[in-house]
Structure 1
Amino acid sequence: MKEFNRTLAGIVAAVSVMTAAASCAAVPKEEPETVPQQTEPAAAAPVEDVTEPEDTGLGIDGTILTWLGDFDLNPTDGGAKSVAISMFEDMYGAAVNCIQVDAENKYTRLSEMILSGEEVDIFPYDSAALPDGVARDQFEPLDPYFDIMGVNEGLWDDMQPAIDALTYNGSHYVMPYRITDPIILTYSRKTVNENGLSDPYTLYQNGEWDWDSFENMIAQFTGSAPEGTYRYGINGWFGHAILASAGSRVVNSDGSGLVNNINDPAIEQAENFMGRLAANGYYDRRDRYSFPTDGNTLFYAMGEWALGASNAKNPDADLMVVPFPKSPDSDKTYYACDYSAMMLVKNSSHPEAAAALMRCERLAASQPEYVAAAREKAVTPVTSGTGEVRSVVTEEQYDAIRSYIRDCTPWFDYGSGMGERMYGEGNYNFSTRGVMNNLSEAMLKGEIWDWYSLRDQMSPIIDSEIARIANGGQPVAEPEPEQPEEDAEEQPEENYDEDAQF
């Protein structure tokens, strides 16, 4: 085993070389997925004075972990290893064998491998893992391995809000080592100033950034449109961000099981807020993958991945970003995001080695040297072969987003991890979408205007899927309707007069 600090210095040097090379080769993402994915890692607050003992006592030297996923952890085509994989190999003398499968087939393949007893240890976290994958008995809790992961020595302390949000039935199946792709609002400070509006970033800093100030700003902007011009308040992908900002969950947990929480007044307020944005014509439904260039849209909502292209296409707009505004009734700013994490597969032969790799991932996400390298890469402009700037993020924007991730509260709803009926897109319409996507889109798109009607249609599906999760992820047979008992004695046939008056 090599001494930790020497390994750290060597890997940081390699990261610097990788950063310089990546700035010439990276291409910004052009289209969002169903849930946008982040292109640059989000760095957590640094953890100081973390050292690795020369002899870990784990006995995992020479261990080869088996990873099953839709991407390869090891470099391909001569690429450089990730910081975490380099640490894992250098500090523990272990390695990872990757089995790559298509995203749509990975859970099926995982089930096959578990049932057949094939070697598989770790699996990428995504929304389907919790609670659906856990209910299907595909994953193990990580609590017994907290010492190895460094949880008890403070390595994960600044991730505690996310860890708490993802706790399931008192256990920790998901330990996010990094928060990724927060949904943010991009706006032009030039447009804000020209229209005499308050700066949203200043409102956020003063604790005044909520639905009311957001909606009032939009009303002022759209109401002062020049003759012949139509203005919008917001464009992009933000239904989940509104649900998150309410600070509640559609499906909650009582510590022993899942609970249908759709009747929470906070959910109703969020849905009615969406309805107002749609009814007042504030929402531009057109698909855009960067901040609009026409100057007629006040806010653009999307994951962090879209910011670089937005800056490149609007070089004179002085773009800035803020988190989605909080509910006026909430004392916290909650934000929708994704999480980078690994799942420990059921019956893994090497749980200690898996925990050691997760420790390396957390170190790579939190150590000051790696945080600085990630920042340098993120703010380096990406150019085309002709020198045209394709993507650029300013230092101010990057640092602001890191502060939002650190200071605001990440949100997770169990409903987003309960299968297609809860989180599927179907054919992208009301009748085929899952519950969570209908709650995020139906009111905004004007597919339904009444919250109570939407709630009453979604609530029975939630109940049914909660029952399925409680049944090990398997459907629960619907009870047969009760048949009325027949009278023992035959009743006389009633006479019916067609001409009778009632």
Structure 2
Amino acid sequence: MKNYKKYIATLLAVGIVFGTVGCGSSADSSSSKKDDDSFEATENVEVADAEAIEAIPDGVDGTILYLGVQDLNPTRGNPEKSTELTLFESKGGSIQYSQTSQFERFDKLADAIMSNKDVPDIVNYEWLSFPAQVVKDMYQPIDELVDFDQPLWSGVKSTADQFVLGGKHYVAPLTFVASSMLCYDTDVIEAEGLDDPYEMYLEGTWDWNAFEDIMSEYVSGAEAGTDRYGINGFFRQHFIQQTGKNMVNYNQETGEFESNLKDPDIEKGENALYEMMKSNLIYTDWVGSARDAFKKGCLFYAMGDWAYTGTNTPKDGENWAIVPHPQYPDNPQKITTSDMKAFMWVRGSTKPEAVKCWFECYRSAYSDPQYLETNKQKFMENNPNWTDEMYQVKMDVQSDEYHMIFDYAFGVSSMLGDPNSFDGNICLTDALYNYSSQIVEDSQMTWAQVREKYSATVDSEIKTLNESIKKFNSDNA
């Protein structure tokens, strides 16, 4: 249990963007705005103007106040100006950064709304944003800003429809990143005579069975006195969600959320993870990068691409590859457990024109082919030992071909989605996904035991949420 708590706590500390940690967290920025005033932002790749996006009208305040833990403007640690910010500034906009910490961000937002002082226009979407914070009147619906029938937004309409209350949308998906992919060393695959996961991915045979087989074959081939493991990292939630199922569902007919802990597909996933742990395929200690995981004898390292890019990117002579998480054989649908980039429009913001423009610039930066190529050039310049095949997998799993899955369990309440409300290191929903393949209090629980231990709490929290939704819908009718 101590190793797992250390593992999750470290995830929180290193700054996994969007919502990679189970509870949708991102880390505090170590750089402050005043420290960054003396440097110039780099612009290594030219960004063409977006003629289809209307400029912010003359006389309208184009400065958006953004409350977050990491600046959207260039910083000393990240000096390259993003494509979306370049576009926004060309339309008369700018971002004013209001810094907060990982542990104070919700309180600071609530205080600003209550006092009606220094109310931010936008904050990052996090899993706790919906529905838990929406029903607390912290955000505005975005339907007046976004027309999901327009070409710019039509590709993300099905995802946006997952974030509707009272017939109103509260989230405009801007782009997606797989919160975890599987990185591996192709030299190891070749040396061991193993089937290449990337080739299986291209052939459509990369599923749970192939995944378990290749790990078992690798581990069983260890020489005497040598430790080998199949996988390390952030993968359990992703493995289970390849079934297409969540711990908590939303019933469109009743307008209520419901527990899904008794779903048979979830049980199959949990039982499979249980057996992987029993078979010693999982290395449970925290490892901070793909390279370090490989040195520990792990075949796969599961994490967001931050762990194998930037300072962790392949070095000269290293030959790595990445693949999506393997598909569930009973449901070969293309599924991504997604980190969705979006911003919540804060209750009390009075800058719809600027926020609308920012949304459009951001969405264009990650959907318009010319900007996708711009982003690729920037990425490959900073990660020269990534292959085109690696980059294509990264783009595949965030494309419209994949169903972006989000578990409402993380957003039901602080009890289910906030580590500080559970044990300070992990939230209760993390426990649901992870405890059947962890050593918890010196033993490994079965899924049936995990479900029995926490189902009453899940039911109680959902009941409270449904009552809050009824009142929210009535007040906002």
Structure 2 length-normalised TM: 0.79
Query: Conserved in 1, the CA contact under 8 Å of 2:123 and 2:344?
Result: yes
| 1:202 Cα deviation after fit | 1.5
Q: Give the AA of the match of 1:66.
A: L
Label 1:38 to 1:100 Cα distance change in 2 as closer, same or farther (>3 A).
closer
Alignment equivalent of 1:416, drawn from 410, 414, 427: 410
- Is 1:439 aligned with 2:445? no
Q: Please say if 1:269 is aligned against 2:268.
A: yes
Give the superposition deviation at 1:311.
Answer: 4.8
Distance in 1 (alpha carbons) for counterparts of 2:233 and 2:53: 48
In 1, Cα distance between equivalents of 2:111 and 2:296: 53
Match of 1:348 in 2: 349
Are 1:363 and 2:394 an aligned pair?
no
Cα offset, 1:187, TM superposition? 1.6
- The aligned residue for residue 33 of structure 1 is 12
Which amino acid letter does the alignment assign opposite residue 380 of structure 1? E
CA distance in 2, matches of 1:342, 1:172: 12
Deviations 1:308-329 (A, max 9, x none): 355536x545211101111111
1:161 Cα offset (Å): 4.7
Q: Name the counterpart of 2:172.
A: 175
Cα gap change, 1:318/1:167 in structure 2, threshold over 3 Å: closer, same or farther? Answer: farther
CA offsets per residue over residues 131-190 of structure 1, 9 Å max, x none? 11112110111123224xxx3321123334533444455432111211125310112222
What does the per-residue CA deviation read over 1:367-417, in whole Å, with 9 as the maximum and x for residues that have no partner? 3333222212222246xxxxxxxx843332112211222233221011112
Equivalent positions of 1:68-217 (< 5 A) are: 68-75=67-74, 82-91=82-91, 93-118=92-117, 119-147=119-147, 151-168=148-165, 170-217=167-214
Q: Secondary structure at the match of 1:152?
A: coil
Tell me the equivalent position of 1:305: 306
1:448-467 matches, within 5 Å, as 448-467=444-463
Structure 1 residue runs of 5 or longer lacking an equivalent are 1-30, 40-48, 383-390, 475-502
Structure 2: distance between partners of 1:163 and 1:354: 17
Aligned residue type for 2:428? V
Q: Between Structure 1 and Structure 2, whose CA radius of gyration is higher?
A: 1
Distance, in Å, in 2 between the alignment partners of 1:380 and 1:267 is 41
Q: Is there any run of 5+ residues in structure 2 with no aligned partner, and where? A: 1-9, 19-48, 471-477
Which secondary structure does the structure 2 equivalent of 1:213 belong to?
Answer: helix
1:415/1:422 contact within 8 Å kept: yes
Give the partner amino acid of 2:272.
F
The one-letter code matched in structure 1 to 2:217 is Q
Given that 2:289 and 2:308 are in contact with CA atoms closer than 8 Å, whether structure 1 keeps it comes out as yes
Report the counterpart of residue 338 of structure 2 in structure 1.
337
Q: Measure how far apart 1:432 and its partner are.
A: 7.5
Aligned to 1:405: 398
In structure 2, the CA distance between the partners of 1:376 and 1:85, relative to structure 1 (3 Å rule), is: closer
Counterpart CA distance in 1 for 2:278 and 2:216 is 12
**Corresponding residue SS for 2:171:** coil
Q: Percent identity?
A: 27
- Closer, same or farther in 2 for the Cα pair 1:352/1:259, shift >3 Å? farther
CA distance, structure 2, for counterparts of residue 403 and residue 168 of structure 1: 30
Q: Kindly indicate whether the alpha-carbon contact (under 8 Å) linking 1:381 and 1:393 is maintained by their aligned counterparts in 2.
A: no
Measured in 2, the distance between the counterparts of 1:270 and 1:166 equals 26
**CA distance 1:297–1:144, change in 2 (3 Å):** same
What is the SS of the residue equivalent to 2:12?
A: coil
**RMSD of aligned residue pairs (Cα, Å):** 3.1
Aligned equivalent of 2:223: 226
Sort the Cα spacing of 1:425 and 1:324 in 2 relative to 1 into closer, same or farther, 3 A.
Answer: same
Q: Judging changes above 3 Å, is the alpha-carbon distance between structure 1 residues 454 and 300 closer, same or farther for their aligned structure 2 residues?
A: same
Shift of 1:268: 0.9
Count of residues paired in the alignment:
421
